[in-house]
């Protein structure tokens, strides 16, 4: 498998605060990789450096291809309210394609996400889940070599979230996109991923790079009750706790406590 993305020894510091420290990993062409980590550990910073929104303090990012699209959590701020749905999806193509081609590309992407009938509506006339589908269609219309998603389903209800997860898996299967998704939802990372990158607390370091050994075809009920799914979800949960805790040796700590206690008792 060729690598679509190579991240090598990437670090970023905001002023005094080190957000990410020495991250290295690759994403193969056609892979869907999930990134999980404690809140505030540096996941968005990682995506920002990969997308070029900010320059990393050190390390390198190399992308095999020149098209990159990002889907953010907050769809209400990422769509232009003064443009129709069709206009929003066409927007990133305005410089690269002629009008007729742009239209066709946007219509096609809207049909992939099941929104072929709402092209003339405005974002504010749609539900949250539909707006997020528009944001996904806009990213897909651009035919990105790499699709970056930062907690893309975090602000929709549970049922819509399941639908959007399946939609992502479907478009990815049918159109072969390479995707890197940040999520704080452990179950979602196992459900969606071919691999899961587990990050530690601030500064973010790579704690584990896990392969998800589940069939490509996933099902919201069957997959989530599958033994492999359940085992992997527990493993990620354990790793995340490990990532958050300061490095203490429990045995040593307990011995020290016992010693302190016996000294206190002797003193009395
Ligand atoms: N522009 C900035 N200037 C200074 N510090 C920042 C900036 N952006 C983020 N940080 C800090 O860097 C750390 C990582 O932030 P980041 O947004 O990458 O975390 P995150 O893992 O995406 O968090 P969340 O799970 O809440 O989305 C945080 O401590 C945050 O306060
Ligand atoms: Mg974030």
Q: What pLDDT, on a 0 to 100 scale, did the predictor assign at position 248?
A: 52
Predicted confidence at residue 182, as pLDDT, reads 96
* Choice from 41, 48, 180, 205 to test ligand 1 binding pocket (greatest atom count within 8 A of CB): 41
Q: How far is the CA of 182 from the centre of ligand 2 (A)?
A: 8
Closest ligand (CA of 23)? 1
Give ion ligand 2 contacts, CB < 5 A. Answer: 43-44
pLDDT reported for residue 102: 95
Q: Kindly report the protein residue whose alpha carbon is nearest to atom 16 of ligand 1.
A: 42
19, 12 in Cβ contact below 8 A? yes
| Cα 200 from Cα 212, distance rounded (Å) | 19
The CA distances from residue 228 to 139, 189, 199, in Å, are 32, 13, 21
Ligand 1, CB within 6 Å, residue ranges:
14, 17, 19, 37, 39-45, 184, 202
**8 A C-beta contact, residue 235 and residue 210:** yes
pLDDT at 65: 80
> Counting ligands in written order, which one lies closest to the CA of residue 20?
1
Q: How far does residue 184's CA lie from ligand 1's centre (Å)?
A: 14
Task: Choose which residue among 36, 44, 183 to substitute to test ligand 1 binding: the one with the highest number of ligand atoms within 8 A of its C-beta.
Answer: 44
- Domains of the chain, by residue range, sit at 3-66+145-267
- Position 258 scores a pLDDT of 66
Q: Does domain 3-66+145-267 have CATH number 3.30.1490.480?
A: no
Structural tokens at position 28: 């193969």
Instruction: Provide the pLDDT for residue 160.
Output: 87
Q: pLDDT tens per residue, the chain (268 residues)?
A: 899 999 999 999 999 999 999 999 999 999 999 999 999 999 999 999 999 999 999 999 999 887 888 888 777 778 999 999 999 999 999 998 999 999 999 999 999 889 999 999 999 999 988 999 999 999 989 888 899 999 998 888 888 899 889 999 988 888 888 999 999 999 999 999 999 999 998 899 999 999 999 999 999 999 999 999 999 999 999 999 865 555 555 566 566 666 666 665 555 5
Residue closest by Cα to atom 2 of ligand 1 = 14
Residue 124 is classified by DSSP as G
Q: Which residues pair with 150 in a beta bridge?
A: 182
Q: For residues 179 and 34, is the Cβ–Cβ distance under 8 A?
A: no
Q: Identify whether the C-beta of residue 118 lies closer than 8 Å to the C-beta of residue 130.
A: yes
Q: What is the DSSP letter of 204?
A: B
- Whole-prediction pTM value? 0.87
């Amino acid at each position: 498998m060729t690598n679509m993305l190579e991240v090598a020894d990437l670090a970023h510091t905001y002023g005094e605060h080190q957000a990410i420290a020495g991250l290295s990993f690759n994403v193969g062409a056609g892979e869907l990789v999930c990134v999980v980590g404690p809140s505030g550990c540096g996941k968005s910073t990682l995506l920002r450096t990969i997308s070029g929104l900010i320059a990393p303090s050190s390390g390198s990012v190399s992308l095999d291809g020149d098209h990159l699209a990002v889907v953010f959590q907050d769809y209400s701020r990422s769509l232009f309210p003064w443009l129709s749905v069709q206009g929003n999806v066409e927007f990133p193509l305005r410089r690269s394609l002629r009008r007729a081609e742009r239209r066709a590309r946007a219509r096609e992407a809207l049909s992939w996400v099941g929104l072929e009938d709402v092209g003339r509506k405005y974002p504010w006339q749609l539900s949250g889940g539909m707006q997020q589908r528009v944001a996904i269609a806009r990213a897909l219309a651009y035919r990105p070599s790499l699709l970056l998603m930062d907690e893309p389903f975090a602000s929709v209800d549970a049922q819509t979230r399941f639908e959007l997860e399946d939609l992502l898996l479907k478009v990815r299967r049918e159109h072969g996109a390479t995707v890197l998704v940040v999520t704080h939802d452990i179950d979602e990372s196992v459900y969606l991923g071919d691999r899961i990158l587990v990050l530690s607390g601030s500064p973010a370091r790579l704690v584990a790079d896990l392969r998800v050994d589940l069939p490509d075809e996933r099902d919201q009920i069957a997959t989530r009750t599958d033994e492999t799914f359940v085992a992997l979800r527990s493993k990620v949960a354990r790793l995340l706790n490990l990532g958050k805790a300061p490095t203490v040796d429990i045995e040593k700590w307990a011995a020290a406590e016992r010693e302190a206690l016996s000294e206190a008792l002797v003193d009395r």
